[in-house]
Amino acid sequence: MQTTVIKKCDTTVFNLPPRKATVNAIVDYLNANYNRRLCSETISADLSYSFDYLNRLLNREAGTTVFRALEAIRMENAKKQLRS
């Protein structure tokens, strides 16, 4: 299976298969809102999907959960801030 690398803030976060627009929407949302205090209810409401569905989809397609992806995005952005 071919993968597409998602880059935000000049940092590779993780690899995603290109066929899932919802997965890309999750990643875009997390990148745009990583600095907010996010809970499963907020993420679910903002993306208009059940949180369990989002979590299963991201885990199946990217091999990570929503909160692990959020943590990775936060860590990458923190590293970038420390470098500058």
- Kindly report the number of other CB atoms within 10 A of residue 82's CB atom: 7
Domain ranges of the chain: 4-83
pLDDT tens for the 84 residues of the chain, in order: 333 344 443 334 566 554 568 888 999 999 999 999 999 999 999 999 999 999 999 999 889 999 999 999 999 999 999 998
- The pLDDT value given to residue 21: 81
Give the single-character DSSP code of 39. Answer: -
pTM of the complete model: 0.75
